[in-house]
Amino acid sequence: MKRTIRILVGKPGLDGHDRGAKIVARALRDAGYEVIYTGLHQTPEMIVNTAIQEDVDAIGLSILSGAHNHLFPEVIRLLKDKGVDDIVVFGGGIIPEQDIAGLKEAGVAAVFTPGTTLQAIVDFIESNVANRTI
Amino acid sequence: MVTKKEWLDKFSKSRQLEQKFTTISDADIDPLYTPENLADFDAEKDLGFPGQYPYTRGVQSTMYRGRTWTMRQFAGFGNPKQTNERFHYLLGNGQTGLSTAFDFPTLYGRDSDDVRSRGEVGKCGVAIDTLHDMEILFDRIPLDKVTTSMTINPPAAIVWAMYLAVAEKQGVTWDKVGGTIQNDMLKEFIAQKTWIFPPQPHLKIITDILAFASENVPRWNTISISGYHIREAGSTAVQELAFTLGDGMTYVRAGIDAGLDPDVFAPRLSFFFNAHSDFFEEIAKYRAARRIWARFMKEEIGAKDPRSWLLRFHTQTAGCSLTAQQPLNNIVRTTIQALSAVLGGTQSLHTNSMDETLALPTERAVQVALRTQQIIAEESGVTNTIDPLGGSYFIESLTDRMEAEALAYIRKIDEMGGMLKAIENGYPQTEISKAAYHYQRQVESNEKTVVGVNKYVNDEPIDLDLLYIDEQVEKDQIASLQKVKSERDNAAVDRALAELKRAAVEGRNVMPPILDCVRRYASLGEMVNTLRDVYGEYQDPAYL
């Protein structure tokens, strides 16, 4: 039997803009996934620890302050350190076009920028997370 | 002569578009408003004249015939020198007041060299660590001539003290210094979510500021009670109105509980609202806000000075309404929103730039935004008469209805034991996130239209030059902070910080010791860490 996909929605960094993270969390929950929301102002260490404790399949990171170039790769580095880099990391927020290639190179599977539909995020999980975890 | 019933009969038998007619907040709107909608309306009691109780038509008797609103663009990025240059650019283009955006470490009370600040320095606003930075930020800006609004909340007392210290250095006495600190912590817990300490100590510092300002800086607006962020977080217009005024009422009661006379501090409270896309709903919101506040201050609080009854407000157009797709359309959205703020009687206005879903604005984008205000003020003719929509069956009905709906929310919060209790229970937070999700669902099902997003879509690439904040800013700012720390009298800083700690422990007003720390170039982070030791730290309860 296929177990329910578990997704951690995380807010790294100092910004308090949680509208997007909460909407995405609710949409993923409505799509049938188990969703854990970290709350605000998380360090990469806190996010990775929660991801391991909660045994999640994917982490969605939301950031609107511009600190993505530091914080997204840091989460991925820590996942590798702990040997859990099979967890799929995706992210979103106010992320300039010119930063996206670097983030993908660092291991971020998808970057969702303003104007993304909730369906596009659910579709991403379906094809990149749901299909690979049996 | 046809009656309304006969007209309605004919109307409902005629073909109509198959869609709901609701505001952006999903409030139903009738096809026509007539005198019947205003059966209980008493123009003398509910409307009055501009500058007269209950101020529905405006807080000044002259409104824009006396003075145009203050054009105040929110600006800040990179290091203090870059932002100072932007300030001079804006003033040079006819802006009439300053508004400062700080970066996240500053908003959150962290120094640029704090490990939690990495990657954030100068990104969302200007980085400020010590008085040295503030001196550069306001270089060649006479603080007795220009008023400054500062969007700063948890460390508001400290950043305000830095501003006052700059005034001292310019030889400007504090009685001539005017401006605003946001200093609205309740809406931080509700919506904007920058906090340091738990709610109670934050409220205590706010009352310290109220007391200090009324004695020393009489022209300063001590709290900018803000609905803007509540709306941006996804609330409806009525929720914005209710939670903002509920917060204001809480501050007034806290001031009174701290032994202050409301007629001393209430005239210096100001408000800050969002101008969203639903034109009439927004205008009605501002008018209802003035009336609710006037009645509360006069009738419930018993304030005697008419200045205590006035709801003066700043407006910013809705950042959350702007789209990344077809960004030039944002100029049109902003224009409509700004017009609603003007027709609603705003005292000051920020218009967003077309590129703000993508980055902080470029000079070119911010100039168009400022010109939008100038065109409304000087070409459109809408400022010729005061409250031009007053007496409209629709506007008056909607104003009454929003007033009633907001008061129902406020009563509900009172029944929960007040706003602090409601926040502890996550009530306003979850009301807002439910509304945000509801709206997003409506957009995705095409029930609500967003041009360029779910209708009239094209796949033209976004073609705008954007402002990019270089990572070098962080390195330079850290080097600058280290230089200040190596040149100041560190023993004096330690003594000043120890005295700040004693004042906090003993429950004294923290403003005087903060000013002393600031003058000795103690850093923002050093002062906040000292207070954190005493007050503790707040954690996000993570309500979904």
Contact at CB, A16 and B193, closer than 8 angstroms: yes
B235 vs A contacts (CB less than 8 Å): none
Q: Which pLDDT value is given to residue A65? A: 87
Confidence of residue A2 (pLDDT cuts 50, 70, 90): low
Which of B74, B78, B72, B77 shows the shortest CA–CA distance to B97?
A: B72
Q: Does A16 touch chain B (CB under 8 A)?
A: yes
The alpha-carbon gap from A55 to the nearest alpha carbon of chain B, in Å, equals: 19
Q: Which pLDDT value is given to residue B462? A: 82
Q: What percent of chain A has pLDDT over 70?
A: 96
Cβ within 8 Å of residue B85, ≥6 positions away: none
- Whether B432 and B190 have beta carbons less than 8 Å apart is answered as yes
Which tens digit of pLDDT belongs to each residue from B96-107?
899 999 999 999
Chain B's closest residue to A67, CA to CA, is B119
Q: Does B96 touch chain A (CB under 8 A)?
A: no
A24 vs B contacts (CB less than 8 Å): none
| Backbone dihedral region for residue B455 (phi beyond 0: left; psi -120 to 50: alpha; all else: beta) | beta
Which tens digit of pLDDT belongs to each residue from A14-23?
988 999 999 9
Contact at CB, A22 and B124, closer than 8 angstroms: no
Higher pLDDT: B279 or B124? It is B279
Of residues B120, B320, B358, nearest to A13 (C-beta)? B120
Contact at CB, B466 and A114, closer than 8 angstroms: no
Strands B70-71 and A110-112: unpaired
Cβ within 8 Å of residue B251, ≥6 positions away: B186, B206, B210, B223, B225, B269
What is the arithmetic mean of pLDDT over B433-454? 95
The alpha-carbon gap from A1 to the nearest alpha carbon of chain B, in Å, equals: 29
Contact at CB, B540 and A39, closer than 8 angstroms: yes
What is the arithmetic mean of pLDDT over B422-446? 95
Of residues A15, A69, A119, nearest to B444 (C-beta)? A119
Reported in sequence order, the residue ranges of B418-459 that DSSP labels E, i.e. its strands, are none
A17 vs B contacts (CB less than 8 Å): 193
Q: Does A25 touch chain B (CB under 8 A)?
A: yes
What is the arithmetic mean of pLDDT over B386-396? 97
- Whether B122 and B77 have beta carbons less than 8 Å apart is answered as yes
Contact at CB, A27 and B437, closer than 8 angstroms: yes
Rounded CA separation B69/B377 (Å): 9
Of residues B233, B433, B540, nearest to A40 (C-beta)? B540
Q: What percent of chain B has pLDDT over 70?
A: 100
Contact at CB, B433 and A22, closer than 8 angstroms: yes
Q: Which pLDDT value is given to residue A20? A: 95
Contact at CB, B120 and A22, closer than 8 angstroms: no
What is the arithmetic mean of pLDDT over B451-467? 90
A97 vs B contacts (CB less than 8 Å): 462
pLDDT over threshold 70, residue A1: no
Confidence of residue A132 (pLDDT cuts 50, 70, 90): low
B226 vs A contacts (CB less than 8 Å): none
The total of structural domains in chain B comes to: 1
- The domain of B109 spans 53-444
What is the CB neighbour count within 10 angstroms for residue B519?
17
**Could you give the 3-state DSSP secondary structure of residue B73?**
coil
ipTM score of complex: 0.91
A68 vs B contacts (CB less than 8 Å): 119
Residues 63-122 of A with CB under 8 A from B: 65-71, 94, 96-98, 113-115, 117-119
Amino acid at B335: T
pTM across the whole model: 0.95
Domain ranges of chain A: 6-129
What is the arithmetic mean of pLDDT over B47-51? 96
A41 vs B contacts (CB less than 8 Å): 108, 540
Contact at CB, B104 and A40, closer than 8 angstroms: no
Confidence of residue B469 (pLDDT cuts 50, 70, 90): confident
Which tens digit of pLDDT belongs to each residue from B249-291?
999 999 999 999 999 999 999 999 999 999 999 999 999 999 9
The alpha-carbon gap from A27 to the nearest alpha carbon of chain B, in Å, equals: 8
Residue B179 lies in a domain: yes
Which tens digit of pLDDT belongs to each residue from B478-497?
999 999 999 999 999 999 99
Residue B485 lies in a domain: no
Chain B's closest residue to A12, CA to CA, is B116
- Whether B471 and B76 have beta carbons less than 8 Å apart is answered as no
Which of B342, B405, B415 shows the shortest CA–CA distance to B377?
A: B342
The CATH number of residue B156's host domain is 3.20.20.240
The rounded mean pLDDT for chain B is 96
B194 vs A contacts (CB less than 8 Å): 14, 16
Q: Does B352 touch chain A (CB under 8 A)?
A: no
pLDDT over threshold 70, residue A133: no
Rounded CA separation B465/B460 (Å): 15
Q: Which two tokens stand for residue A1?
A: 């039997």
Chain A's closest residue to B457, CA to CA, is A115
What is the arithmetic mean of pLDDT over B327-346? 98
A13 vs B contacts (CB less than 8 Å): 104, 119-120
Contact at CB, B116 and A43, closer than 8 angstroms: yes
Q: Which two tokens stand for residue B231?
A: 């709306």
CATH class of A6-129: alpha beta
B468 vs A contacts (CB less than 8 Å): 96, 98
Q: Which pLDDT value is given to residue B539? A: 87
Q: Which two tokens stand for residue B84?
A: 């100072």
Contact at CB, B120 and A18, closer than 8 angstroms: no
Q: Which pLDDT value is given to residue B319? A: 97
Of residues B110, B194, B234, nearest to A19 (C-beta)? B234
Question: Residue B223 is inside which H or E element, if any?
Answer: strand B223-226
Residue B22 lies in a domain: no
Of residues A16, A37, A67, nearest to B544 (C-beta)? A37
pLDDT over threshold 50, residue A134: no
For the range B31-40, what are the long-range contacts, defined as Cβ-Cβ under 8 Å and sequence gap of 24 or more?
B32/B4, B32/B7, B32/B8, B33/B392, B33/B393, B33/B394, B33/B397, B34/B4, B34/B393, B35/B393, B36/B4, B37/B393, B37/B394, B37/B396, B37/B397, B38/B393, B38/B396, B38/B397, B38/B400
